[in-house]
């Protein structure tokens, strides 16, 4: 008798090879707006934490400038003469959000909800000056929320539009 076909081992090896190829190819595919939003929220949160650490250890002040309604977010460092300059740390020179991800609004208790203009968050030796909620929006209209707490130095990230501290 002559039987033709594949053995279970042959099929398993082919599936394993296809799986490894997918693991190599999928991360290189263009990202979606939802993925860019998630990465931007996490990167912004990490940037805020890093600014707090650098301010405490380097005895300097940093400023996070944001323009709600745009994707303009920039970190500045306080200069000795009181002016602002480009940060000396290369990690703080990078854009904290991906292009196209917009700062929908920023809530600071003493200012309320800021939806336009420019807002500056101060991060000094004692950490972040105020509690802040930053809402990021993707081109598809999805939201992620970044909350930063001044006293503890914690920064939390949430999927969706969160308004209150949890």
DSSP secondary structure letters along 67-86: -TTSS-EEEEEE-TTS-EE-
Length of the chain, please?
Answer: 166
Task: Identify the pLDDT of residue 31.
Answer: 63
Instruction: State the pLDDT confidence band at 80, using cuts at 50, 70 and 90.
Output: confident
Task: Identify the pLDDT of residue 29.
Answer: 67
Q: In whole angstroms, what is the distance from residue 113 CA to residue 106 CA? A: 6
Mean pLDDT of 32-54: 89
Sign of the C-alpha dihedral computed for residues 8, 14, 15 and 16 taken in this order: positive
Task: Identify the pLDDT of residue 105.
Answer: 94
Q: In whole angstroms, what is the distance from residue 74 CA to residue 63 CA? A: 8
Task: Identify the pLDDT of residue 126.
Answer: 84
pLDDT of 64 above 90: yes
Mention every residue, 6+ apart, whose C-beta is less than 8 A from residue 37: 101, 136, 137, 138, 142, 143, 144
Query: 130-155, pLDDT tens digit by residue?
Result: 899 999 999 989 999 999 998 788 99
Task: Identify the pLDDT of residue 143.
Answer: 94
Ordered structural domains, the chain, with CATH: 32-159 (3.55.40.10)
- The number of beta carbons lying within 10 Å of the beta carbon of residue 40 is 25
Poorest-confidence range of 12-16, 28-32, 105-109? 28-32
- Say if residues 143 and 160 touch (Cβ distance below 8 Å): yes
Paired tokens of 163? 């308004």
Q: In whole angstroms, what is the distance from residue 115 CA to residue 99 CA? A: 19
- Say if residues 133 and 107 touch (Cβ distance below 8 Å): yes
pLDDT of 9 above 90: yes
Instruction: State the pLDDT confidence band at 56, using cuts at 50, 70 and 90.
Output: confident
Q: Is the pTM of this model over 0.85?
A: no
């Amino acid at each position: 008798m002559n039987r033709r076909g594949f053995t279970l081992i042959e099929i398993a090896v082919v599936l394993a090879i296809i799986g490894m190829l997918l693991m190599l190819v999928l991360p290189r595919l263009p990202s979606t707006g939802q993925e860019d939003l998630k990465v931007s929220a996490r990167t912004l949160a990490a940037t805020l934490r890093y600014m707090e650490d650098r301010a405490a250890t380097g005895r300097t002040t940093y400023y996070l400038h944001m323009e709600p309604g745009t994707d303009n977010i920039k970190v500045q460092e306080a200069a000795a003469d009181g002016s602002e300059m480009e940060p000396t740390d290369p990690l703080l020179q990078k854009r904290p959000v991906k292009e196209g991800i917009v700062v929908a609004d920023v809530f600071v208790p003493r200012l309320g909800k800021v939806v336009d203009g420019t807002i500056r968050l101060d991060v000094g030796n004692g950490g972040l000056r105020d509690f802040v909620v930053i809402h990021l929006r993707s081109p598809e209209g999805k939201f992620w929320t970044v909350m930063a707490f001044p006293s503890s130095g914690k920064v939390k990230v949430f999927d969706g539009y969160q308004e209150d501290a949890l």
